[in-house]
Amino acid sequence: MPVHRPGTLLATLALLPFLLALAAPAPASAADKPPARGTAHMGMGVAAHDGTGGLPPDGRAVQTEGVDVSSHQGNVDWTALWNSGVKWAYVKATEGTYYKNPYFAQQYNGSYGIGMIRGAYHFATPDTTTGAAQADYFVNNGGGWSRDGRTLPGVLDIEWNPYGSACYGKSQAAMVSWIRDFLGRYKYRTGHDAVIYTATSWWKQCTGNYGGFGASSPLWVARYNTTVGELPAGWAYYTMWQYTSTGPIVGDHNRFNGAYDRLQALANG
């Protein structure tokens, strides 16, 4: 029969809180928690999912430099960007049906005022409301289009979900249906097809590499590397390429796949 010594028992009891602490799971760090709703922006998941591989070579005469901005950039120095050679800009207007960029006026009007061709984008959250509802919210809050030669068509930013599962809990067929719903409503409201911004790997994962939108919606592809790489199904070429999130003055830099007069043609519909 074992003998229990009082001293050993007391020592064990004294160590119990320490032992329990070791066994308990570590608390979630700030990095593990999803960001606050509304803080999503173009390409925030690209580097993590697709990696980075350097910048494309300079001196491409047939491409036109652009930027995209959101509330993360705050009040943007549009003069500095213009002087650096940036000729077009996209500004985050909305997210879901619950968020409007508080810096939208400074960014959207400021880029226009300095001489840029500019447009607005919507960060899609297909798990919160329908595509049509989000298209209406976007158009009603800065995402419209006008044939003034200086306003680019609105953009549907559809990419990794920063708040949960990558595909927003939707099947590939349901995701395609949601995108179609958004695009149809945007075209009905503005008379212009929306641009689709996405990354090829996300498009494959979450739409099954659906190829049915390329005939109407221009493609803005995200890939932070020296080449644009494989495009999503349905597009033989890209219209815009987001090639880095670490560019000068503001992070997200892009290239329009053509000379300035082709950019004007897109603005003119």
* Residues annotated as catalytic (active site), given as ranges: 68, 157, 159
d(CA 121, CA 197): 9
177-192 as b/e: b if 16+ CB within 10 A: ebbebbbebbbebbeb
- Round to whole Å and give the CA distance between 1 and 250: 75
Residue-wise DSSP of 38-96: T---TTTTHHHHH----PPPS--TT-EEEEEE-GGG-S--HHHHHHTT--EEEEEEEET
| Strand ranges in 70-181 using DSSP code E only, listed in sequence order | 88-95, 99-100, 117-123, 155-157
Tokens 């607005």 sit at which residue?
120
* Token output for 183: 């695009």
